[in-house]
Amino acid sequence: MSDMKENPVSGANISEPLLKIRGLKVSFGTGKKAREVVHGVDLDVYPGETVAIVGESGSGKSTTATAVIDLLPGTGKVTGGTIELDGVDLVSAGRREMESIRGREIGYVPQDPMSNLNPVWSIGFQVEEAVRANGLATGRKEVRARAIEVLKQAGLADAERRLHQFPHQFSGGMRQRALIGIGLAADPKLLIADEPTSALDVTVQRVILDHLASLTREKGTSVLFITHDLGLAADRADRIVVMNQGEIVESGPSRLILENPQHPYTQRLVAAAPSLASQRIQAVAEERGVEHIEEVASGAPVIEVRDLVKEYRIRQGGFRSVPFRAVDGVSFQIPKGKTLALVGESGSGKSTVAKMVLQLESVTSGELLIEGTDVSQMSQKDVFALRSRMQPVFQDPYGSLDPLRSIGHLIAEPLRVHGVGDEKARQARVFELLEQVSLPRELAWRYPNELSGGQRQRVAIARALALKPSIVVLDEAVSALDVLVQDQILKLLAELQAELGLTYLFITHDLAVVRVAADLVAVMEKGRIVEQGTVDEIFASPQQAYTQRLLEAIPGASVHMAGH
């Protein structure tokens, strides 16, 4: 955890703010089409302080940050207010002036480590470029030495060797270290970190942010930290600024904001943040709970997986290939009406398991029993029938619906494929399903691109439920959604589970979501399940070191919430 919180820079209250933003307004588009997205933001960052701007997508948090370094995308323009850095106005600064401020006075760590390094140049070249551009060293040797120093500082121990490597030879975490190195190369007074770790696994995120915190503390750098994750902001920042729809709704010391949020929006955000919650979302249908438990005890598991193995052959060039075990002897059971979460970091094989369960990938070896029947014994006709009882919901809300078909057509497609009812009956079922996922009927005639991510995910759920399946496989189904929307969808899923007795296989990388959404959890690492049990057991006393590491890496774990 950040020690900065415990040792706020003494005297910060009396000193002048390093960054002073007053009444900042930003618009996109020109002429009649101009649209204001930031409506008058006031913000101070004091020397040595870490301030986090928290908000959902479209809240204007990134726009505010990029306005500071004059890197607004596209037609973006500052239309009002002032931005002062150490008393120098940045809004009126010319291009030349900004170029000398960027890098030297303000460092920037971008969001996506995959696309922010140029793939055709070596890492060394790109760091040296930053060193040279900021005039930190001249002459080949000095520049090179400084570049190595920068990378070493960023935590790449064997920097000399790494200098010659290219971005594709670096892992996501290593790339982000290189970018942090570039951002801090010139010892800037202010570092802007725009969702620096949202593309990384939690354990990597933790290591990188710890390192970033110790670096900036050492040098007394102020940090403006942009994130969507309230828990992460609480861990890392002295002060939190909550933004919504281009305005600041609440700001203050981190602990105060989390423990005593005043604005209704902040209260909802705090309540919805899975990293801060501690309880399973319970559906309203409590009375039926008793029945369910009995059923669970007596009935056979709906999904049973025994020693499941998936091997891919990786081409080595030419005709040679080596086997690669993506899934290595996985076993689990899911009782009826329960949710099993399969958790793991990228490359753990969790999605491959989901695809095998869905019959989208063949099984190399092992048994897969669905409702007591071995899938490998099934005829094609049986598999077709099975598909109506088991449906997926995928991660990407923008890719999971065919953009050329109307919503009504999409939701009715499963019914048409399986020949259920006539046109009129299908229409009625579509309306019923839309109602079940709390969407208006009129949507049936609309197209997916008119909907938000959360609404598309509702449509995907409605479609999955069309054939009244007993099993739904949720493959990172809420990972791409904003916190409040995610909370809504998780509640909807819990309600539907209670109402329809659904069994969920929930694939996710986010342990925080597991706690609120699952009954059972299986932790995967490198194709194997390292630990499994009930959510309460695993969260209370994880037995394996890997599980412990994962749990500790959940941001906001240290914050004790009064409301929970």
Partner 1 sequence: MSSNSAHYVAPIKADVVVDAVRLGEKPSNLWLDAWRDLRVRPLFWISVALVLLVSVAALFPSLFTSFPPSGQGAADLAKSNAGPEPGHPLGFSFQGYDVWSRLVHGAGISLTVGLLATIIGTVIGVVMGALAAFYGGFLDSLLSRVGDIFFTIPYIVAAIVVMTVVPREFRSVLVLAFAIGGFSWASTARIVRAEVLRVKQSDFVMASIALGLSRFKTMVVHVLPNAMAPVIVVATIGLGQAIVAEATLSFLGVGLPNVVSWGADISQAQASIRTAPMALFWPSLALTLTVLAFVTLGELVRDAVDPKSRAQR
Residues engaged in binding partner 1 (CB under 8 A): 12-13, 17, 42, 44, 46, 49, 74, 239, 244-245, 247-253, 256-257, 262-265, 268, 358-360, 384, 387-388, 390-392, 394-396, 399-404, 406, 413-414, 417-418, 439-440, 442-443, 445-452, 454-455, 460, 463, 484-485, 488
Shortest separation between residue 438's beta carbon and partner 1, angstroms: 9
Query: The dihedral of CA 108, 114, 118, 123: what is its sign?
Result: positive
Contacts of 16 (CB under 8 A, 6+ apart): 87
Whichever of 219 and 418 has its CB closer to partner 1, that residue is 418
Nearer to partner 1, 96 or 320 (CB): 320
Minimal distance in Å, beta carbon 147 to partner 1?
Answer: 35
- Alpha-carbon distance of 69 to 224, in angstroms, equals 12
Q: Which 3-state string (H, E, C) describes 214-267? A: HHHHHHCCEEEEEECCHHHHHHHCCEEEEEECCEEEEEEEHHHHHHCCCCHHHH
Q: Minimal distance in Å, beta carbon 379 to partner 1?
A: 14
Buried b (16+ CB within 10 A) or exposed e, 472-486: bbbbbbbbbbbbbbb
- CB of 359 vs partner 1, minimal distance in Å: 8
Nearer to partner 1, 298 or 380 (CB): 380
Task: Give 114 or 484: the residue with its C-beta nearer to partner 1.
Answer: 484
Shortest Cβ 260–partner 1 spacing (Å): 8
Tell me how far, at minimum, the Cβ of 198 lies from partner 1, in Å. 20
C-alpha count within 13 angstroms, C-beta hemisphere, residue 537: 11
Helix (H, G, I), strand (E, B) or coil at 353: helix
Question: Closer CB to partner 1, residue 44 or residue 432?
Answer: 44
Q: CA 143 to CA 131: how far, in whole Å? A: 7
Residue 383 Cβ vs partner 1, minimum distance, rounded to whole Å: 8
> Between residues 292 and 389, which has the closer beta carbon with respect to partner 1?
389
* Exposed / middle / buried, residue 293 (Cβ in 10 Å: 0-12, 13-18, 19+): exposed
Please state, in angstroms and rounded to a whole number, the distance separating the CA atoms of residues 547 and 525: 9
Q: Are strands 471-475 and 503-508 parallel, antiparallel or unpaired?
A: parallel
Q: Closest distance between partner 1 and the C-beta of residue 26, in Å?
A: 17
Q: Are 219 and 153 in contact (CB under 8 A)?
A: no
Closest-CA residue to 178 (of 253, 135, 117): 117
> Which CB, 247 or 552, lies closer to partner 1?
247
Contact 553, 206 (CB under 8 A): yes
Which residue number, 339 or 400, has a Cβ lying nearer to partner 1? 400
